Amino acid sequence: MQRTKAPFRADEVGSLLRPASIKEARAKLEKGEISADDLRKVEDLEIEKVVHRQASVGLKLATDGEFRRSWWHFDFLAKLTGCELYHPDTGIQFTGVETRHDSVRVIGKLDFPDDHPMLDHFRFLKRHADIAGVAAKMTIPSPAVLHFRGGRKAISKEVYPDIDVFFEDLGKTYRKAVKAFYDAGCRYLQFDDTVWAYLCSEDELNKVRARGEDADNLQQIYSRIINYAIADRPADMVITTHVCRGNFRSTWISSGGYEPVAETLLAGTNYDGYFLEYDSDRAGGFEPLRFLPKGNKVVVVGVITSKFGELEKKEDILARMKEAAKFAPLEQLAVSPQCGFASTEEGNILSEDEQWAKLKLAVDVSNELWGK
């Protein structure tokens, strides 16, 4: 049957291609031709439109497309108390391309501020999602991302001489964030997370070890922080995660199946749902889904790619879903694109029409598997 509670049988990760009007307004703001308030008005209009577009293709949820963000993670993290955006000598290295030279570091005691700008971003989204008759979904980076991205060198040793105290404060900060979003009306929150995929990659693990991190214990540390952060969520709040293998201009970073982390992630980390990427051979097989406990947890199987515009055949996606159902019950599965369409403002290499066709395909597949 179709689900009336998130995650839905046809779902989406979060980010959407930025409309030309937003890109143009951002460029004008950088040149000093318009004000920040002028940009916000453009974003408001486009978010209102995109919420209704999501409802029109048959989705039961809507995000704001992350239209107000430049990055999927840095915009949120840089506004935490104790964090700042800075510009290192290098960007993030994807396959064949490097990002802009932005990152976040910890320079003070961590906390979640009452006036974090994304609370207002969510409130705006919710008003228009309520009008469209869909659930408002908010996406924020996982706490693990703040540590893993820069490692110990990006965390002030003067502020946090003991890394365990940093991890404690990180958990407390996110617990406060969860409550703040709930109080703002959020009932569908997602922690976006590249870390679990990186922990499946020997190349990425070797990089972590080279910078002096205890790579073998990271998944247990991150699971403990996440469980603490979400432990007090009310019964009517759903918290999911998206495990990303890297998404920048249709490129990627990590390869390797989920086997090394599946038991800790699916059975030991207390999310309500997991968006797992399964659009390429780099993700391995569906066998790790056997660790999904019987019950209410849902895996949203990302078998539709967001990286390229060619539309998959519905029969091929149906076959993949049925293959996944050999390892986890069909009633505990859902379908979505494997990632967002624009994890950064640059966006992936496909058109908006191709993006909407892929979201409609997820709806069509869900209707066939679970009925209308």
Rounded to whole angstroms, how far apart are CA atoms 334 and 8?
A: 7
Q: Which residues partner with 111 through β-bridges?
A: 81
Determine, yes or no, domain membership for 12: no
Fill in the DSSP letter of residue 308. B
Domain range enclosing 102? 20-370
Within 96-151, residue ranges assigned H as helices are 117-132, 143-150
Return the number of other C-beta atoms located less than 10 Å from residue 57's C-beta: 17
Q: What would the pLDDT profile of 101-140 be if each residue is shown by its tens digit? A: 688 999 999 999 999 999 999 999 999 999 999 999 999 9
Task: Give 156's pLDDT tier (boundaries 50, 70, 90).
Answer: very high
CB neighbour burial string for 72-111, b if at least 16 within 10 angstroms, e if fewer: bbbbbbbbbebbeeeeeeeebebeeeebeebbbbbeeebe
Range of lowest pLDDT (279-288, 307-316, 346-355): 279-288
| 66 within 8 A of 342, measured Cβ to Cβ | yes
pTM over 0.85: yes
244 pLDDT exceeds 90? no
Biggest alpha carbon–alpha carbon distance for the chain: 57
Contacts of 255 (CB under 8 A, 6+ apart): 201, 203, 245, 282
- 319 sits in the region (left: phi over 0; alpha: psi -120 to 50; else beta) called alpha
94 pLDDT exceeds 50? no
| 198 within 8 A of 148, measured Cβ to Cβ | yes
The burial class, CB within 10 Å (0-12 / 13-18 / 19+), for 145 is buried
Rounded to whole angstroms, how far apart are CA atoms 18 and 160?
A: 38
Total domains in the fold of the chain: 1
Determine, yes or no, domain membership for 320: yes
Determine, yes or no, domain membership for 2: no
182: which 2 tokens?
Answer: 């709930």
Q: What is the CATH number of the domain that holds 348?
A: 3.20.20.210
Q: Which residues partner with 326 through β-bridges?
A: none
Determine, yes or no, domain membership for 137: yes
| 231 within 8 A of 181, measured Cβ to Cβ | no
pLDDT of residue 249: 47
Determine, yes or no, domain membership for 322: yes
The CA distances from residue 157 to 138, 146, 212, 234, in Å, are 32, 15, 15, 35
Determine, yes or no, domain membership for 13: no
Mean pLDDT, rounded, for 155-172: 97
Determine, yes or no, domain membership for 5: no
**Sign, Cα dihedral of 206, 292, 167, 149:** positive
247: which 2 tokens?
Answer: 């998404």
